[in-house]
Amino acid sequence: MTSRTDSDVTLIGLGLMGTALAGALLGAGHRTTVWNRTAAKAEELVTQGALLADSVGSAVNASPVVVTCVSDYASLQQVLTPVADRLGGRVLVNLASGDSEQAREMARWTEDRGATYLDGAIMAVPPTIGTAAAVILLSGPETTFTMHQSIFDALGTTAYLGEDHGLSALYDVAGLSMMWGVLNAWLQGVALLSTAGVDAASYTPFAAQLAQETVGWLAGYADQVDRGTYPSDDATLNTHAGGMTHLIEESERLGVNAELPRLFKALVDRAIAAGQGGRSYPVLIEQFAQPHATSR
Ligand code: NAP
């Protein structure tokens, strides 16, 4: 019988993602115990060397580190509540998606049972798990992350974000906002150029160059946001507003959807009405850092 070590790991939840995670752990040589509500999903992993636990309790008992990847936090509570008394002294790592408050609440629940909690968010699809392309965000106690880093490194490129358990979920949604912001802006341009017979492939190198140039502004603008000072040494909000009007009118004239540029302009108009028209673009953080009065 193989003796147990700190690198032993239990994986609970063998859906598409959990199966990929377990496969990567086995591939990296970790003694991996698995459990899934529908046990048949473990068959292939067992042929690869996984140990199939006959109950959630046995799965938790099997390893010092228990990684979970079920659908959501409600499912996780259903799975773990009956075996909560077995968590003491272990490390629970939840990789299911959720929000920052769920992560912090899960941390409190876990710590009340004498266990340590890391919360994670997977920025990847199952086929990339186990490769550098799979980015896994983790937050919680740094010493716990460091102690078990070999387990996380087996899953992909791990990024430790800090002690606050909510950080993984917050970076996750912030990343999605960045992604959809870029994609929607690109699609607006594709639609505009298509009215002149320019296809998406022809327009895209220009779009990519502009996106890269804009990304280059972010570090300086982040400095402005962190300092709370917005010197208008490049372009003022008033100047941006003029360009936005141009984008809205061109879109409308060509029969292209103008909702997105109208949203840009609405935010800028509110900042100008608040007396910010002479400041630089990131002063708009004041519009983003609060709920919109009519959005609730
Ligand atoms: P999935 O294929 O639908 O698998 C869901 C898993 O949760 C299954 O193991 C299922 O067990 C289990 N489960 C659900 N409700 C349960 C309950 N009440 N009790 C016990 N087990 C329960 O989903 P997935 O793609 O693996 O995703 C899992 C998590 O990873 C989600 O939070 C998802 O957002 C996140 N994620 C997924 C991806 C992706 O590309 N797939 C990417 C990033 C993050 P059964 O097999 O018995 O139904």
User: pLDDT by residue (tens digit) across 53-62?
Assistant: 999 999 999 9
Mutate which of 12, 16, 17, 135 for ligand 1? The one with the most ligand atoms within 8 Å of its CB, which is 17
- Return the ∠ at Cα 204 (arms to 201 and 210), rounded to 5°: 170
What average pLDDT does the structure give for the chain?
95
Query: What tens digit of pLDDT does each residue of 62-84 get?
Result: 999 999 999 999 999 999 999 99
**Is the beta carbon of 175 within 6 A of some atom in ligand 1?**
no
What is the total residue count of the chain? 296
Beta strands in 151-201 (DSSP E): 157-162
pLDDT at 283: 97
- Measured between alpha carbons, how far is 191 from 290 in angstroms, rounded to an integer? 31
Give the pLDDT band of residue 27 (cuts 50, 70, 90): very high
Sheet order of strands, 65-68 included: 51-52, 32-35, 9-12, 65-68, 91-94, 116-123, 135-139, 157-162
> Taking residues 181-204, what's their average pLDDT?
98
pLDDT at 4: 63
**pTM > 0.95:** no
Alpha helices in 71-199 (DSSP H): 73-80, 100-112, 142-147, 149-153, 167-194
Query: What tens digit of pLDDT does each residue of 247-270 get?
Result: 999 999 999 999 999 999 999 999
Q: Which two structure tokens, joined as six digits, stand for 100?
A: 């920052």
From the CA of 76, how far away is ligand 1's center (Å)?
A: 10
**Is the beta carbon of 27 within 6 A of some atom in ligand 1?**
no
Query: What tens digit of pLDDT does each residue of 275-290 get?
Result: 999 999 999 999 999 8
Atom of ligand 1 nearest to the CA of 121: 44
Contact 161, 168 (CB under 8 A): yes
- Measured between alpha carbons, how far is 30 from 10 in angstroms, rounded to an integer? 10
**Is the beta carbon of 36 within 6 A of some atom in ligand 1?**
yes
Residue 46's identity, in one-letter code, is: V
Using CA atoms, how far residue 164 sits from 89, 106, 151, 184, in Å, is 20, 12, 21, 31
